[in-house]
């Protein structure tokens, strides 16, 4: 019997770790600051973007002169060992103060070897796998001269219309916090100055995912309890894990655009949490303070950004060109400016550039670390872990490898580009394995028939007849449906999350051919697919799984890998149910199908697939949870144990989930909230005792006055393999407490 102990994931109340002061760094930074002209200081805060060219991304001709003049501190989107070395040489040999450049890029889910999109990785519920993915990305990216990635994206998303839901860990702050910390560890390692680790960026600070209507960049208006208790938590976890940078978000929060939000950046992030890293603007975010309507000029926008604590100006060039007068007049203080410059120089020091500016620009290492067999194997492993079996009626899956004829239908099946997902850095679609290719490789002696069926969008049905013809000839049909990768990600929102185009029609025609049908979904957001759920026996959520996608999907379809992923986000039945998330409040008239309850007339109020849902080719049972005590003070710990048994015929993975509800409190509390999880692997008939420990932090919430409190009273614990398949137990808190990390300013 295995015994698993679980430490709680980073939670609210944790401070960023106090860094050991590095006197050498402070001396160097002080001496540089003393020497720097105003223009050179503003230059350190200026980030310029590379331009695409036939030989890869390059700086503009005039930018080399700016490097020489000390007017630029970092570049975005420039990489390549030889080229970054060349630019670095200009900075350290050609500029007056010889300050090295930082090279940054969006290395979000892989650099050349592409891993699953972050939402998919979150479905693995496997922080170690997610950490490995970020580690590999960091090894490849730093081998190409990069020092800094704009990841992890840790925005909570409760609205699947929002295209950027694909870039985060879904709807839950606890899972989001655990994965934020894992990604930070993966990118940054234990030594930021090592040549294969890079500065990570928690983004987008803050509440970017709460855009009204699911429209990217839109207004955010949130209660302080939800802002701090839900949206801030993954940021706090990233800060506690020592993330080196944070990116401000495009949105406003309660009337104040984040690039001007001194209360949240300087106040909460730096002040209350004690975090000491560098804050970078989002693309042109300083300039966008003007259309937001809080700045009348570029100079005003720049001053607001510096007051708020946004250190680096990504591409708007306002800091470099428009704020010197404000500094001279004292509108921006020397102290404010110097602190921003100090943080940029500290970041450069921490990644090791003052010891060796060429450390990351090593042509030989670049060759050695790119798309290695090990990296591809890691990508395939994480991809398999990220697949969720949504439905498997009559055990249609796994399909037999001895099938003679398999039909693969759907444009997406052959779309290796979409397999790469929303951000693909230097990933190449020629190197990615489509679902169709993966299936062909898995069944070398079977006949694999392919028909495109329908485009993802549009009204064309001319491919239907061929699709039906190949379906009729096959032992089983694999129908690949969903969205092209361009249908999620930045600014790619959808007003309807139903299957686009004629794909549902195609599914109806193929299903009517009478062969067993498996649907593999490729998508960057939850989809509302009630017809598929009702009529198709087996449905796999395969997201966008990266370079090795086709192999991973074939591994699952033909039973070489038993799927164990769980949804990190709720799947509604219809767009009109949005927002729909598991940790909702009960209301005074809790949802039910009849009477005056919180419901709809036209669809059930429940989700199609709840948060935490996912099946396996085997089955698991749970014992009733055993509690170490029935009553506790807030200062005590509570140990919860349950036995999970594999009752089926195959080895498999289960994600054991622990939820908690504060039954009666001074403000309303969610019906349940995730407070622990563990992915375990069990052989047939094997069992495991899983142990979770709850502490005050797990029980706390923000009360009416925004104090973080644990209140006395009853709590319910739920354990199970999904948020709606649970066993319960109860306990009492006899003495409450007020925790640190009190009121937001």
Q: Which of 126, 172, 282, 555 is catalytic?
A: 282
CA distance 316 to 288: 9
The footprint of ligand BGC on residues 96-135 (CB under 6 A) is 106
CA-based torsion, 332, 333, 336, 341: positive or negative = positive
CA distance 540 to 594: 32
Binding mask 439-468 for ligand BGC (x = CB under 6 A): ------------------------------
CA-based torsion, 353, 359, 362, 366: positive or negative = negative
- Looking at the Cβ atoms of 283 and 531, the one nearer to ligand BGC is 283
Partnered with residue 632 across adjacent β-strands are 733
Q: Is 490 in the site for ligand BGC (CB under 6 A)?
A: yes
Q: How far is the CB of 491 from ligand BGC (least distance, A)?
A: 8
CB atoms within 10 A of CB 147: 30
Q: Measuring CA to CA, which residue among 128, 124, 201, 159 is closest to residue 566?
A: 124
Per residue in 391-425, is it b (16+ CB within 10 Å) or e — as a string?
Answer: bbeeebbbbeeebeebbbbbbbbbbbbbbbbbbbb
Q: Torsion angle, CA of 671/673/677/683, rounded to 10 degrees?
A: 10
Beta-strand relationship, 278-280 and 256-257: unpaired
| Alpha helices (runs of H) in 241-311, residue ranges in sequence order | 262, 289-292, 298-308
- Looking at the Cβ atoms of 150 and 702, the one nearer to ligand BGC is 150
Binding mask 565-604 for ligand BGC (x = CB under 6 A): ----------------------------------------
The footprint of ligand BGC on residues 66-85 (CB under 6 A) is 76
Q: How far is the CB of 163 from ligand BGC (least distance, A)?
A: 11
Helix/strand/coil (H, E, C) string of 672-705? CEEEEEEEEEECCCCEEEEEEEECHHHHCEECCC
Binding mask 139-168 for ligand BGC (x = CB under 6 A): -----------x------------------
- Looking at the Cβ atoms of 208 and 622, the one nearer to ligand BGC is 208
The answer to whether the CB of 160 falls within 8 A of the CB of 118 is no
The answer to whether the CB of 412 falls within 8 A of the CB of 435 is yes
- Looking at the Cβ atoms of 157 and 446, the one nearer to ligand BGC is 157
Q: Is 548 in the site for ligand BGC (CB under 6 A)?
A: no
Q: How far is the CB of 282 from ligand BGC (least distance, A)?
A: 5
Q: How far is the CB of 361 from ligand BGC (least distance, A)?
A: 21
Q: How far is the CB of 421 from ligand BGC (least distance, A)?
A: 14
- Looking at the Cβ atoms of 282 and 653, the one nearer to ligand BGC is 282
- Looking at the Cβ atoms of 106 and 437, the one nearer to ligand BGC is 106
Q: How far is the CB of 704 from ligand BGC (least distance, A)?
A: 34
CA distance 613 to 603: 20
Give the three-state DSSP class for 541. strand
| Alpha helices (runs of H) in 452-516, residue ranges in sequence order | 464-473, 503-511
Q: How far is the CB of 544 from ligand BGC (least distance, A)?
A: 17
Which two three-digit tokens encode residue 335?
């102290």
CB atoms within 10 A of CB 505: 16
The answer to whether the CB of 235 falls within 8 A of the CB of 189 is no
Binding mask 184-213 for ligand BGC (x = CB under 6 A): -------------------x----------
CA distance 598 to 401: 48
CA distance 181 to 710: 25
**DSSP summary character for residue 498:** B
Which two three-digit tokens encode residue 176?
């989001």
Q: What phi and psi values does residue 236 have, to the nearest 5 degrees?
A: -65, -35
**CB-count burial class (<10 Å; 0-12, 13-18, 19+) for 542:** buried
Phi-psi group of 284: left, alpha or beta (phi > 0 → left; psi -120 to 50 → alpha; rest → beta): left
- Looking at the Cβ atoms of 107 and 518, the one nearer to ligand BGC is 107
Which two three-digit tokens encode residue 635?
């200062």
- Looking at the Cβ atoms of 135 and 203, the one nearer to ligand BGC is 203
Residues sharing a CB contact under 8 Å with residue 123, sequence separation 6 or more, in sequence order: 386, 387, 388, 541, 543, 565, 566, 567, 568, 614
- Looking at the Cβ atoms of 457 and 490, the one nearer to ligand BGC is 490
Q: Is 283 in the site for ligand BGC (CB under 6 A)?
A: yes
- Looking at the Cβ atoms of 283 and 605, the one nearer to ligand BGC is 283
- Looking at the Cβ atoms of 106 and 415, the one nearer to ligand BGC is 106
Q: How far is the CB of 149 from ligand BGC (least distance, A)?
A: 9
CA distance 340 to 644: 52
Instruction: Name the residue whose CB lies closest to ligand BGC.
Output: 150
- Looking at the Cβ atoms of 423 and 543, the one nearer to ligand BGC is 423
Position among 282, 288, 311, 504 found at the interface with ligand BGC (CB under 6 A): 282
Is 282 one of the catalytic residues? yes
Which two three-digit tokens encode residue 711?
């209140």
Q: Is 426 in the site for ligand BGC (CB under 6 A)?
A: no
Q: Is 692 in the site for ligand BGC (CB under 6 A)?
A: no
Q: How far is the CB of 201 from ligand BGC (least distance, A)?
A: 8
Q: How far is the CB of 179 from ligand BGC (least distance, A)?
A: 17
Q: How far is the CB of 203 from ligand BGC (least distance, A)?
A: 6
Q: How far is the CB of 250 from ligand BGC (least distance, A)?
A: 6
Q: How far is the CB of 258 from ligand BGC (least distance, A)?
A: 12
Beta strands in 217-321 (DSSP E): 245-248, 252-253, 256-257, 278-280, 313-314
Beta-strand relationship, 405-409 and 476-482: parallel
The answer to whether the CB of 304 falls within 8 A of the CB of 328 is no
Distance of CA 249 to the CA centre of its chain: 15
- Looking at the Cβ atoms of 422 and 503, the one nearer to ligand BGC is 422
Per rule CB under 6 A, count of chain residues that contact ligand BGC = 7
Residues forming the active site: 282
- Chain residues that interact with ligand BGC, rule: CB under 6 A: 76, 106, 150, 203, 282-283, 490
């Amino acid at each position: 019997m295995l015994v698993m102990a679980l430490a709680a994931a980073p939670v609210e109340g944790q401070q960023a770790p106090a860094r050991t002061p590095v006197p050498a760094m402070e001396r160097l930074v002080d001496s540089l600051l003393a020497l720097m002209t105003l223009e050179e200081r503003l230059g350190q805060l200026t980030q310029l973007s590379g331009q695409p060219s036939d030989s890869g991304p390059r700086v503009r001709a005039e930018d080399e002169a700016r490097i020489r003049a000390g007017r630029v501190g970092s570049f975005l989107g420039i990489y390549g060992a030889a080229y970054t070395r060349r630019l670095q040489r200009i900075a350290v040999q050609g500029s007056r103060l010889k300050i090295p450049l930082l090279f940054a890029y969006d290395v979000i889910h892989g650099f050349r070897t592409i891993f699953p999109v972050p939402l998919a990785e979150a479905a693995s519920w496997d922080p170690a796998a997610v950490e490995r993915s970020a580690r590999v990305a960091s090894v490849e990216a730093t081998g190409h001269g990069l020092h800094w990635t704009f990841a992890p994206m840790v925005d909570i998303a409760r609205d699947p219309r929002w295209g950027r839901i694909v870039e985060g860990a879904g709807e839950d702050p606890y899972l989001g916090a655990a994965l934020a910390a894992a990604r930070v560890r993966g990118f940054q390692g234990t030594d930021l100055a090592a040549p294969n680790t890079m500065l990570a960026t928690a983004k987008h600070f803050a509440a970017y995912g709460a855009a009204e209507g699911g429209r990217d960049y839109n207004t955010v208006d949130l209660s302080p309890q939800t802002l701090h208790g839900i949206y801030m938590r993954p940021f706090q976890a990233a800060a506690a894990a020592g993330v080196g940078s944070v990116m401000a978000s495009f949105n406003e929060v309660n009337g104040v655009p984040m690039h001007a939000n001194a209360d949240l950046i300087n106040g909460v992030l730096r002040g209350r949490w004690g975090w000491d890293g560098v804050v970078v603007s989002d693309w042109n975010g300083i300039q966008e303070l003007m259309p937001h309507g809080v700045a009348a000029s570029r100079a005003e926008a720049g001053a607001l950004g510096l007051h708020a604590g946004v250190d680096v100006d990504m591409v708007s060039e306002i800091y470099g060109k428009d704020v010197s007068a404000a500094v001279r007049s004292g509108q921006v203080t020397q102290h404010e400016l110097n602190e921003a410059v100090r943080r940029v120089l500290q970041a450069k020091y921490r990644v090791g550039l003052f010891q060796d500016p060429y450390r990351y620009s090593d042509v030989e290492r670049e060759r050695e670390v790119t798309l290695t067999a090990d990296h591809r194997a890691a990508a395939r492993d994480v991809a398999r872990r990220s697949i969720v079996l949504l439905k498997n009626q009559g055990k249609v899956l796994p399909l037999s490898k001895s099938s003679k004829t398999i039909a693969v239908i759907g444009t997406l099946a052959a779309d290796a580009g979409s397999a790469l997902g929303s951000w693909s850095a230097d990933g190449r679609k020629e190197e990615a394995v489509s679902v169709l290719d993966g299936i062909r490789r898995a069944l070398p002696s079977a006949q694999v028939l392919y028909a495109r069926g329908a485009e993802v969008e549009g009204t064309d049905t001319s491919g239907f007849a061929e699709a039906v013809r190949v379906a009729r000839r096959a032992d089983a049909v694999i129908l690949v449906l969903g969205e092209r990768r361009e249908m999620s990600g930045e600014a790619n929102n959808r007003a309807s999350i139903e299957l686009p185009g004629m794909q549902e029609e195609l599914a109806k025609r193929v299903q009517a051919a009478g062969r067993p049908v498996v649907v593999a979904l490729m998508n960057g957001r939850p989809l509302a697919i009630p017809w598929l759920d009702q009529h198709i026996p087996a449905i796999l959520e395969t997201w966008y799984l990266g370079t090795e996608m086709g192999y991973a999907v074939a591994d699952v379809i033909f039973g070489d890998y038993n799927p164990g992923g769980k949804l990190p986000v709720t799947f509604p039945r219809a767009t009109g149910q949005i927002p729909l998330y598991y940790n909702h409040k009960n209301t005074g008239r809790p949802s039910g199908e009849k009477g005056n309850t919180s419901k709809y007339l036209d669809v059930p109020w429940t989700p199609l697939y709840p948060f935490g849902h996912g099946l396996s080719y085997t089955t698991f049972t749970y014992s009733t949870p055993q509690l170490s005590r029935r009553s506790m003070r807030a200062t005590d710990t509570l140990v919860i144990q349950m036995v999970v048994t594999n009752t089926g015929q195959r080895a498999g993975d289960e994600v054991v989930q622990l939820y908690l509800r504060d039954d009666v409190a001074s403000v309303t509390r969610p019906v349940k909230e995730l407070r622990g999880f563990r992915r375990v692997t069990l052989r047939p008939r094997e069992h495991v005792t899983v142990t979770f420990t709850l502490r005050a932090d797990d029980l706390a919430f923000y009360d009416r006055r925004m104090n973080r409190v644990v209140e006395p009273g009853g709590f319910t614990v739920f354990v199970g393999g999904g948020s709606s398949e649970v066993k319960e137990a109860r306990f009492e808190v006899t003495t409450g407490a007020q925790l640190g990390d009190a009121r937001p300013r």
